[in-house]
Chain A
Amino acid sequence: NAGVTQTPKFQVLKTGQSMTLQCAQDMNHNSMYWYRQDPGMGLRLIYYSASEGTTDKGEVPNGYNVSRLNKREFSLRLESAAPSQTSVYFCASSLFRGPATNEKLFFGSGTQLSVL
């Protein structure tokens, strides 16, 4: 059981280039998320998809777009990369989403992105 798979693991971009981070989960989870993690900062939510067909902004959505392609896949796109987007990106999934739930998040192994 692969869990949450995200690609690529490493990427170097030049300012202004675009790229898409791919994420897939095989646990039949309804909710998927994209986080970024910067040194000295907690994980911050970029976008999430509570269910197939829906996406919503998180805490730091500017400069990103997402697509919930189907129940399994949730991609994150940087249209015009900036040095401020240098970070480690984590995709995650959970069975469902909502208040007062103890549902755990399953994370992918992360993407180290550097924008020069």
Chain B
Amino acid sequence: RKEVEQDPGPFNVPEGATVAFNCTYSNSASQSFFWYRQDCRKEPKLLMSVYSSGNEDGRFTAQLNRASQYISLLIRDSKLSDSATYLCVVRQGSQGNLIFGKGTKLSVKP
């Protein structure tokens, strides 16, 4: 089993749609969780950290379920500019290594 698994995508949605990405992680001792965004041929950039209580940043909502080892990202009212690959990232181990998922590609169409 991969350490961090994501929906492979691609997700093709119209503007204004709500889209949800899922991510599971295998190491129950994982400590911190993140969503990064990566535009085509660009570097990854932090979108948001994910907290146990769930957190929201504008149109983006992230949730963590430690019992199920599951992380989600919800994007409401999708914009063309949301088109990118979304990377689920988990920090684990005594050294705090970051483990990246393969990413889920989102394409928002007019």
A residues lining the B interface (CB < 8 Å): 35, 40-45, 50, 56, 58-59, 90, 97-102, 104-105, 107-110
Contacts and interface: CB of A to CB of B under 8 A. Distances in A.
B95 A99 contact: yes
Nearest to A56: B95
Contacts of B31: 99-101
Given A56-B95, A97-B95, A107-B43, A102 B100 contact: no
B31 to A, nearest CB: 4
Contact of A108 (B43, B46, B101): B43
B102 A42 contact: yes
Contacts, number: 60
Contact of B32 (A40, A100, A110): A100
B102 to A, nearest CB: 5
A47 B15 CA distance: 40
A33 to B, nearest CB: 8
B44 interface: yes
Interface of B: 4, 31-32, 34, 36, 41-46, 49, 87, 91-103
28 contacts: A40-B102, A41-B102, A42-B4, A42-B99, A42-B100, A43-B87, A43-B100, A44-B100, A45-B98, A59-B97, A90-B44, A97-B95, A97-B96, A98-B96, A99-B92, A99-B93, A99-B95, A100-B91, A100-B96, A101-B31, A101-B32, A101-B96, A104-B34, A105-B44, A107-B43, A107-B44, A109-B42, A110-B42
A8 to B, nearest CB: 15
B42 A42 contact: no
Given A97-B95, A99-B94, A100-B32, A105 B100 contact: no
A45 B1 CA distance: 19
Contacts of B45: 107
Q: Name the residue in A41, A44, A58, A100 with the highest tally of chain B Cβ atoms < 10 Å from its Cβ.
A: A100
